[in-house]
Every structure is written in structure tokens, then in C-alpha cells.
């Protein structure tokens, strides 16, 4: 056993000796300091921008969340259809196609195949979606209310609950 310890010691000492023989220290780091006499220049004026921003448009299941002054998201559930449907609150009333929900300066139009959210010139659509009213007074009365959006995303479903601004209104034709 002692023989193996001696062989290992010789190997380690030999490796250290070979490493030390080829060790070359790097050049020392040289640092220089230079006196500078420059001064900062005066601010330069910029030409006014000629770019006019375009209104926001597109398709998005999160469209109502994009306008927090109008809609405040309180819950989000995502998963297979059976799971998401099991999470629907009791007492929902489907908002019929052709109706619109107004909250602050936003309008949600309920279409046959989805929703369209409008605020000023901004337009977002939520295809393959249904809008429901949860709790609160029946359609058409002024009162804060809760809306539930159910979106079919292809292989997954999504449920989002929103609180609307005070004085919101749902208009049914």
C-alpha cells in the first residue's frame, strides 16, 4: 500500500515541477494618466419628429387588459376546454351578438364570431370569443359590473374576468 502512495507522490511532484518549469508570468499592467482640458459642449437642438404614430390595431385575447382605465382584470384561467368551463362563475348572462358594452371611453362590440374593442382610433379584436355579464343588475342599467371573456385559442381556452369602470353600460339591441 505504501508503494502506491510513493508512486502517487512522485507523479504529483513531477507534474508540479513540469508546470513550474513552463510558467511564464504576463507583462505587468501599465496605467497612464493624462491631463484633459476639454469642456462639455452646449446642448444641440434636435429637429422635430415627422413621425405620426398610427393607432393600435390587431387581434389579442388580452385586449381588454390593454386598457386598465376601462377594464381591470381580476382573474385569468387557461387550459383545456373542460377545465376552463368548470371555472365559469355561476349566474353568467351571455351578452348577445350585436350588443355593446361601454366602460369609461372604451366600447366592446359583441360580434357573431368574437369581440371588437374600440377606444378613440385604437381597435383591437378578440376572435373566437364570447362575452358574459357576471352578477350586478340586468343589461342596460348604469352600475359597475363584472364582465367575463371566454376565448377559444385553438388547442387551449382562456377565461378572463374584468371589473368595469363605474357608470358602465351594456346596450342590447
Into how many domains does the chain fold? 1
Q: Is 81 inside a domain boundary?
A: yes
CA angle 153, 128, 90 (to 5 degrees): 85
Element (H, E) at 129: strand 129-134
Q: What is the pLDDT along the chain (173 residues), one digit of tens a residue?
A: 888 999 999 999 999 999 888 887 777 778 777 777 777 788 888 788 777 777 777 778 888 988 888 899 999 999 999 999 999 888 888 888 998 888 888 999 999 989 999 988 888 899 999 998 886 655 554 444 788 999 998 889 999 999 888 777 777 76
Q: What is the pLDDT of residues 53-93, one digit of tens each?
A: 777 777 788 889 888 888 999 999 999 999 999 998 888 88
Residue 2 maps to a domain? no
Q: Is residue 15 part of a domain?
A: no
d(CA 131, CA 95): 6
Round to whole Å and give the CA distance between 93 and 95.
6
Residue at 50 is within a domain: no
Q: Is residue 18 part of a domain?
A: no
Residue 137 sits in which domain range? 57-171
Quick check: is 40 in a domain?
no
Amino acid at each position: 500500500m505504501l508503494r502506491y502512495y510513493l508512486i502517487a507522490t512522485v507523479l504529483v511532484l513531477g507534474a508540479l515541477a513540469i508546470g513550474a518549469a513552463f510558467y511564464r508570468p504576463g507583462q505587468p499592467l501599465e496605467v497612464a494618466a493624462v491631463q484633459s482640458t476639454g469642456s462639455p459642449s452646449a446642448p444641440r437642438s434636435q429637429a422635430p419628429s415627422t413621425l405620426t404614430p398610427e393607432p393600435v390595431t390587431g387581434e389579442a385575447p388580452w385586449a381588454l387588459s390593454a386598457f386598465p382605465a376601462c377594464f381591470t382584470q381580476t382573474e385569468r384561467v387557461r387550459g383545456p376546454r373542460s377545465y376552463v368551463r368548470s371555472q365559469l362563475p355561476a349566474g353568467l348572462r351571455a351578452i348577445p351578438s350585436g350588443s355593446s358594452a361601454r366602460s369609461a371611453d372604451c366600447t366592446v362590440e359583441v360580434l357573431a364570431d368574437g369581440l371588437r374593442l374600440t377606444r378613440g382610433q385604437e381597435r383591437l379584436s378578440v376572435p373566437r370569443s364570447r362575452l358574459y355579464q357576471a352578477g350586478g343588475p340586468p343589461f342596460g342599467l348604469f352600475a359597475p359590473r363584472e364582465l367575463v371573456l371566454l376565448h377559444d385559442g385553438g388547442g387551449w381556452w382562456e377565461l378572463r374576468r374584468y371589473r368595469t369602470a363605474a357608470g358602465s353600460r351594456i346596450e342590447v339591441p
